[in-house]
């Protein structure tokens, strides 16, 4: 008991949730038993839980008028830790009776959480239909006393004699908050006592009913208005704006639970903090268990808000942690499919709402391509991209749209990753593609480099980066040069290529003529199995040690700068122009120069070489 009191619960306010839940269980048992024996109600079917704080006496009392206990049950239930009277009650049932009683809880340890805040606990109880009451009392030191008492009303009264440092639980405002937090949606009314001095009028009721007693998610969808859905969302997400969409389901069978999941209209401020606590609110039989049940949805759906209310879930003994098992996996899998189905419905039927959703959460959704291979195909269909054939600033092109526009001879889906959309659109890697009408997807989100490596193909078409050195254009682009002309140009620039390779050997692995350039003098391409240069930059910015690989420098023989380079006989000019070709290529792809000052000096020497001032 000492170990449980001091180690089991991380949040001491949980004790009130546990005692209210026990009281609710007692009321449910009475309702069930009274179906067979109405006399157990003793003429009073108005069931409730009452909370009373007595500051002078330093006691907090939780009472109910449920089924109550007799002496034997008190010893059986309270005399042994983790002995659940509710569990025993259910085990004694079979068939339809057991199904009818599934609303009743099955937790037996919760009562002992009382000793977290109390140095002495007194329990007074009388079982419905019996005349003799019983009192159980303990200081939590391993011993207890049981005695017979007179108790006029049925039910149970738990009196906590609070420790000196637990005065916060005598404050009505604090109690009101805890009750609303954990027991807001219990069907049993939870009443909070008001002392005479706290009542404005003599005839004012002695109790305030704190909880609403209704769980919206357990009601039929046809009986719920949009405004009611909006109001619950505001309570869950602390968001004054209505949600963009929601999906509401009740599941029956081997796993019985209800789910109500919302997609917000705008992203939360901490959307990109993957370590921030987030998740769904978890309830078990309307009793609040935890705020951030992150096991019920994957990280890439961290923007979703909502509720899961299960008839039974595998919780740890304190009911503060959710344990992983097959039931959780099934609820999680079904919830993911419902959210993705909801988003797909927006894409198909409400394109304006989908555009709003994608602007807010599109980059986060892309994380699912890597994190959730089971749903990768469904996620890929929801993704939208910029491309060389799209207009506007918003990504609007799907992979299916791209496939529909591909020439029959094109065997690959081409893409380019870049630091931002402007850099992507201006990339020299696109020149040959754009000139011949071949569409290229432009990926400018930071997550794209991570995501694209998890998409080897889409509907049988492999994805290929146009920034890789081995990209083949011959099947979709007719070579503008005859084979003989190509051989002539290659021979003409053979010496230039060799000299550039030697000059820039610390920066590039080789130099070669390019098929992809039509306007720019040069570009850098990545070998087939090497990490992309954009990904290298992202990892370095994140503080990672990246060995990196040397790119290939491709030159455009039709550019005037290359003709000038070929004709120069001055070694200094050749070196300046060769380094300038490389540095221009780095800047064109959004990179940073290792030595910007040297770049400026070289540029100035070449630009002002023949000016009078230079002479």
Of the pLDDT bands very low, low, confident and very high (cuts 50, 70, 90), residue 105 is: very low
The whole-angstrom separation of Cα 228 and Cα 532 is 50
Under 8 Å between Cβ of 296 and 306: no
pLDDT of residue 109: 58
Task: Report whether 142 contacts 53 (CB < 8 A).
Answer: no
Per-residue model confidence as pLDDT tens digits over 264-285? 999 888 888 766 767 788 888 8
The confidence score (pLDDT) of residue 103 equals: 37
Q: Helix (H, G, I), strand (E, B), or coil: what is residue 114?
A: helix
Number of neighbouring beta carbons within 10 Å of residue 291 = 13
Q: Is 208 helix (H, G, I), strand (E, B) or coil?
A: strand
Main-chain dihedrals φ then ψ at residue 162, nearest 5 degrees:
-70, 150
Q: The tokens 């004699």 sit on which residue? A: 161
> Reading across the β-sheet that carries 257-263, which strands appear in turn?
245-251, 257-263, 305-310, 280-284, 287-293
Residue with tokens 């006691």: 59
Question: pLDDT value at position 610?
Answer: 62
DSSP codes of every residue in 397-418: B-HHHHHHHS-TT--SEEEEE-
Q: What is the pLDDT of residues 122-178, one digit of tens each?
A: 999 999 999 999 999 999 887 899 999 999 999 999 999 999 999 999 999 999 999
DSSP letters of 513-524? E-SS-SSSSEEE
**And the tokens for 596?**
């910007």
Quote the CA–CA distance of 461 and 403 in Å, as a whole number: 9
pLDDT over 50 at 98, yes or no:
no
**Selected residue with higher pLDDT from 467 and 255:** 467
Instruction: Give the pLDDT confidence of 425-460 residue by residue, as tens digits.
Output: 999 999 988 888 899 999 999 899 889 989 989 999
Kindly give, in sequence order, each residue whose CB lies less than 8 Å from that of residue 381, ignoring residues fewer than 6 positions away: 344, 398, 399, 400
- Adjacent-strand bridge partners of 309: 258, 283
Round to whole Å and give the CA distance between 481 and 242: 60
Distance CA 295, CA 305 (A): 13
d(CA 265, CA 237): 11
Query: Closest Cα to residue 320, out of 107, 159, 170?
Result: 107
Residue 575 host element (H or E): helix 571-588
pLDDT at residue 476 tops 90: no
pLDDT tens digits along 314-346: 554 445 555 556 778 888 999 999 999 999 999
Residue 408 has pLDDT above 90, yes or no: no
| Residue 100, pLDDT score | 40
pLDDT at position 612, please?
59
> CA 393, CA 490: separation in Å to the nearest integer?
41
- Lowest mean pLDDT, pick from 30-34, 124-128, 427-431, 610-614: 610-614
Q: Which has more pLDDT, 470 or 324?
A: 470
The neighbouring-strand residues paired with 293 are 280
State the Rg of the chain over Cα.
36
């Amino acid at each position: 008991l000492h170990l449980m009191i001091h180690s089991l619960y991380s949040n001491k306010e949980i004790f009130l949730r546990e005692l209210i839940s026990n009281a609710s269980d007692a009321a449910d048992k009475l309702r069930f038993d009274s179906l067979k024996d109405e006399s157990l109600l003793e003429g009073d079917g108005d069931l409730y839980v009452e909370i009373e704080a007595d500051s002078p006496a330093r006691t907090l009392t939780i009472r109910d008028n449920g089924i109550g206990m007799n002496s034997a049950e008190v010893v059986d239930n309270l005399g042994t830790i983790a002995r659940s009277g509710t569990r025993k009650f259910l085990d004694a049932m079979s068939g339809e009776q057991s199904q009818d009683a599934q609303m009743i809880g099955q937790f037996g340890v919760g009562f002992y959480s009382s000793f977290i805040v109390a140095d002495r606990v007194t329990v007074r109880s009388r079982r419905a239909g019996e005349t003799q009451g019983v009192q159980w009392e303990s200081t939590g030191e391993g011993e207890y006393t049981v005695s017979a008492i007179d108790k006029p009303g049925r039910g149970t009264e738990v009196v906590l004699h609070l420790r000196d440092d637990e005065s916060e639980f005598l404050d009505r405002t604090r109690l009101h908050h805890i009750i609303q937090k954990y027991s807001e949606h219990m069907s049993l009314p939870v009443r909070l006592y008001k002392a005479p001095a706290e009542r404005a009028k003599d005839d004012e009721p002695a109790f305030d009913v704190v909880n609403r007693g209704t769980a919206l998610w357990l009601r039929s969808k046809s009986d719920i208005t949009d405004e009611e859905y909006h109001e619950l969302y505001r309570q869950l997400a602390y968001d004054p704006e209505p949600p963009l969409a929601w999906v509401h389901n009740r599941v029956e069978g081997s796993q019985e639970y209800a789910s109500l999941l919302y997609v917000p209209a705008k992203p939360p401020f901490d959307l990109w903090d993957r370590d921030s606590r987030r998740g769904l609110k978890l309830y078990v039989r309307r009793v609040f268990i935890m705020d951030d049940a992150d096991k019920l949805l994957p990280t890439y759906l961290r923007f979703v808000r909502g509720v899961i209310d299960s008839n039974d879930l595998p919780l740890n003994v304190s009911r503060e942690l959710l344990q992983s098992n097959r039931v959780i996996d099934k609820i999680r899998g079904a919830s993911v499919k419902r959210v993705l189905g909801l988003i797909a419905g927006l894409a198909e039927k409400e394109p304006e709402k989908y555009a709003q959703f994608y602007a807010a959460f599109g980059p986060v959704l892309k994380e699912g391509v890597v994190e959730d291979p089971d749903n990768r195909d469904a996620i890929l269909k929801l993704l939208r991209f910029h491309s060389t054939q799209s207009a506007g600033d918003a990504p609007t092109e799907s992979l299916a749209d791209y496939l529909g526009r591909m020439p029959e001879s094109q065997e690959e889906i081409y893409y380019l990753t870049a630091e931002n959309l402007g850099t992507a659109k201006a990339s020299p890697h696109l020149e040959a593609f754009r000139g011949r009408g071949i569409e290229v997807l432009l990926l400018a989100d930071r997550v794209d480099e991570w995501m694209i490596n998890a998409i080897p193909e889409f509907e049988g078409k492999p994805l290929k980066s146009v920034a890789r050195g081995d990209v083949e254009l011959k099947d979709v682009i007719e070579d503008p040069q005859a084979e003989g002309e190509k051989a002539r140009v290659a021979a003409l620039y053979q010496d230039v290529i060799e000299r550039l390779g030697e000059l820039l050997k610390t920066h590039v692995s080789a130099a070669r003529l390019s098929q992809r350039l039509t306007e720019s003098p040069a570009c850098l391409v990545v070998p087939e199995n090497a990490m992309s240069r954009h990904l290298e930059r992202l990892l370095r910015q994140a503080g990672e040690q990246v060995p990196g690989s040397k790119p290939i420098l491709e030159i455009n023989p039709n550019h005037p700068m290359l003709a000038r380079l070929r004709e120069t006989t001055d070694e200094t000019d050749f070196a300046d122009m060769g380094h300038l070709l490389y540095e221009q290529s780095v800047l064109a792809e959004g990179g940073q120069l290792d030595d910007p000052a040297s770049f400026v000096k070289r540029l100035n020497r070449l630009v002002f070489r023949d000016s009078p001032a230079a002479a």
